[in-house]
Amino acid sequence: MDNVFPKNFLWGGATAANQIEGAWNVDGRGPATSDYARLITSETKKLEGTFDQHVPHNAASLEMIEDMDVHPENWTLPKRWGIDFYHTYKEDIKLLAGMGFKVFRMSISWSRIFPNGDDKEPNEKGLEFYDNVFDELHKYGIEPMVTISHFDIPMHLARKYHGFLSRYTVDAFVRYAETLFKHYKGKVKYWLTFNEINNILSNPYTSAGVIMSGAQHPNDCNPYLGHWQEKFQAVHNQFVASALAVKKLHAIDPNAKIGNMLCRLENYAESTKPEDNLQLLFEDHFNWFFTDVQAKGEYPYYMERFFKHNHIHIQMEPKDKQILREGTVDFITISYYMTYVMRYKGKSVAEPTGRLVSDIKNPNIPRSEWGWPIDPIGLRITLNKIYDRYHLPIFISENGLGAMDTVTENGKIYDDYRINYLHEHVYQLREAIKDGVDVFGYAWWGPIDLVSSGTSQMSKRYGMIYIDQDDYGHGTKKRLLKKSYYYYKKLIASNGADLEDNIDY
């Protein structure tokens, strides 16, 4: 068997605090935006009408937030309980270690460390929890990769300062990051600043703690359009916050590395028409933009026309440009789930759609039960493009399939669809490495079932480890090993050489 994966390739999985920890008000943790993300099912969608089927939109409006505080019994808020990882991390890490994991991507809940986001002193109990998690991972030789901000902003910063719309939040973030770098120096080698930083275009609440007037209310208006002034200002502030964190880490712990995190939207033109290809270029720009700033250290030329055309004025402080130049990331990470189809919109100036799932169907590839196109070759294409553009090492910080699972009478889960997805994506990853792309790791999203980010559903399962828990938090919470558990274990043991599905389960 020919093998091309580097010897120390980091195989593993990825999670986020707000989707696994639960214990939302335990040991001094303060409330976060994710605690106000309601369950979305096909039923809620029908009731609320108007919205696109496949796009996550569980952000909260101010009215909803207030009602959730006064009448929590009227809402289903699954991120408050997650999978109770806060209490089960030992047994869960043991199961993950059983697959031979080399890396575990996780995030730190900001409001567990600083309950309001801007407190004078950190919460010792919070710091201690992650010390325990890191120690537990190291016990099994698993390297943590830690996202500093993954879709949970302290509610206090969201309500009082509009999250990252304000420079106040930038300062608070940098102090939070500095606290982490100092406290966990030597324990964490890989850091990421903001999860899917481009998610701001479709969901400023989730990404940046910006509660937008009206725009986020499910019955109000379409959140994908407009509000660009606020979105691009908030993301500028995140760029600065990210660059300052990069500089801090390099000063505090020169042995550690820090990366970006982009939800990579690989686009295809719907036809060979030049206009559709122009649209593809436009959409591509709105995706590259984020990593261009974080990896090259400056705003790319192509944004100027868009800003001017739309009267967007980004407020910069005198040193911002220098900070961005000095705070470029050490490596690139992407989440890769699917590809998109572009059709000309008849405009000569680009406009971001801000969608996370394409509304135009690609007839050449299948879709998941949640309508997400499945396109393994797109991964090879995208990895080549990224490497060509940045010449930096790449880590795949998310890839995976959300699906319904069925448990048989004797407690088995035959998830061949998940095995296929993994198989095909790792096959194309291997091709990309053969092409010469420098990839140093691969993290499956949600190796243990967790609460969905977009819909807060538990039934949208990604895991190789099943949890007996439903959308409403009911169930025995028992962990069961799916067929894919044994497949991934074998794949990792062979360092990606053995992709054959011959599991005796």
What tokens does 343 get?
């059709």
Which of residues 12, 13, 22, 56 is near ligand P53 by CB under 6 A? Answer: 56
270 is catalytic: no
Which positions from 457 through 486 interact with ligand P53, judged by CB under 6 A? Answer: 460
DSSP 297: S
What tokens does 397 get?
């910080």
Distance between CA 230 and CA 257 in Å, rounded? 31
Which of residues 9, 36, 387, 445 is near ligand P53 by CB under 6 A? Answer: 445
**Marked catalytic residue, from 196, 230, 270, 283:** 196
DSSP 335: E
CB of 335 to ligand P53, least distance (A): 5
Residue 292 makes contact with ligand P53 by CB under 6 A: no
Residue 402 makes contact with ligand P53 by CB under 6 A: yes
Beta strands 266-269 and 339-342, pairing class: parallel
Nearer to ligand P53, 373 or 454 (CB): 454
Q: Which amino acid is at 99?
A: M
Q: Is 401 strand, coil or helix?
A: coil
> Rg (Cα) of the chain, in Å, rounded?
21
Nearer to ligand P53, 119 or 398 (CB): 398
What is the pattern of x (binds ligand P53, CB under 6 A) and - over residues 243-282? --------------------x-------------------
**Marked catalytic residue, from 21, 136, 266, 398:** 398
Nearer to ligand P53, 169 or 452 (CB): 452
Nearer to ligand P53, 21 or 119 (CB): 21
Q: What are φ and ψ of residue 255, in 5° steps?
A: -85, -15
CB of 245 to ligand P53, least distance (A): 18
Which of residues 337, 387, 444, 466 is near ligand P53 by CB under 6 A? Answer: 337
Q: What are φ and ψ of residue 144, in 5° steps?
A: -75, 140
Of the candidates 49, 59, 48, 145, which has an alpha carbon nearest to the alpha carbon of residue 102? 145
Residue 452 makes contact with ligand P53 by CB under 6 A: yes
351 is catalytic: no
Total of chain residues touching ligand P53, rule CB under 6 A: 18
Which of residues 33, 123, 287, 335 is near ligand P53 by CB under 6 A? Answer: 335
Stretch that binds ligand P53, among 169-177, 239-247, 276-284, 453-461 (CB under 6 A): 453-461
Sheet with 439-445: list strands edge to edge: 257-259, 190-194, 143-149, 103-107, 10-14, 439-445, 394-398, 332-335, 262-263
3-state helix, strand, coil in the chain (%, to 5): 40, 15, 45
What tokens does 451 get?
């609460």
Q: What are φ and ψ of residue 447, in 5° steps?
A: -65, -20
Distance between CA 53 and CA 228 in Å, rounded? 23
Which of residues 35, 398, 405, 471 is near ligand P53 by CB under 6 A? Answer: 398
Yes or no: say if 268 and 325 are a contact pair by the CB < 8 Å rule: no
Stretch that binds ligand P53, among 116-124, 233-241, 405-413, 449-457 (CB under 6 A): 449-457
Yes or no: say if 340 and 269 are a contact pair by the CB < 8 Å rule: no
CB of 458 to ligand P53, least distance (A): 11
Distance between CA 229 and CA 311 in Å, rounded? 8
* Residue-level length of the chain: 505
Nearer to ligand P53, 223 or 402 (CB): 402
Yes or no: say if 192 and 215 are a contact pair by the CB < 8 Å rule: no
CB of 445 to ligand P53, least distance (A): 5
Nearer to ligand P53, 82 or 297 (CB): 82
Which positions from 16 through 45 interact with ligand P53, judged by CB under 6 A? Answer: 16, 19
CB of 402 to ligand P53, least distance (A): 5
Which of residues 196, 292, 375, 471 is near ligand P53 by CB under 6 A? Answer: 196
Q: Which residue is nearest to ligand P53 (CB)?
A: 454
CB of 435 to ligand P53, least distance (A): 24
Encode burial over 468-489: b for 16+ CB neighbours within 10 A, e otherwise. ebebebeeeeebbbbbbbbbbb
CB of 382 to ligand P53, least distance (A): 13
Q: Which amino acid is at 65?
A: I
Beta strands 479-481 and 465-467, pairing class: antiparallel
Nearer to ligand P53, 30 or 400 (CB): 400
Yes or no: say if 99 and 140 are a contact pair by the CB < 8 Å rule: no
Q: What are φ and ψ of residue 468, in 5° steps?
A: -75, 85
CB of 56 to ligand P53, least distance (A): 4
Residue 453 makes contact with ligand P53 by CB under 6 A: yes
Q: Is 10 strand, coil or helix?
A: strand
Nearer to ligand P53, 16 or 99 (CB): 16
Which of residues 193, 195, 328, 484 is near ligand P53 by CB under 6 A? Answer: 195
Beta strands 262-263 and 465-467, pairing class: unpaired
What is the pattern of x (binds ligand P53, CB under 6 A) and - over residues 138-167? -------------x----------------
| Residues annotated as part of the active site | 196, 398
What is the binding site for ligand P53 (CB under 6 A)? 16, 19, 56, 151, 195-196, 263, 335, 337, 356, 398, 402, 445, 452-455, 460
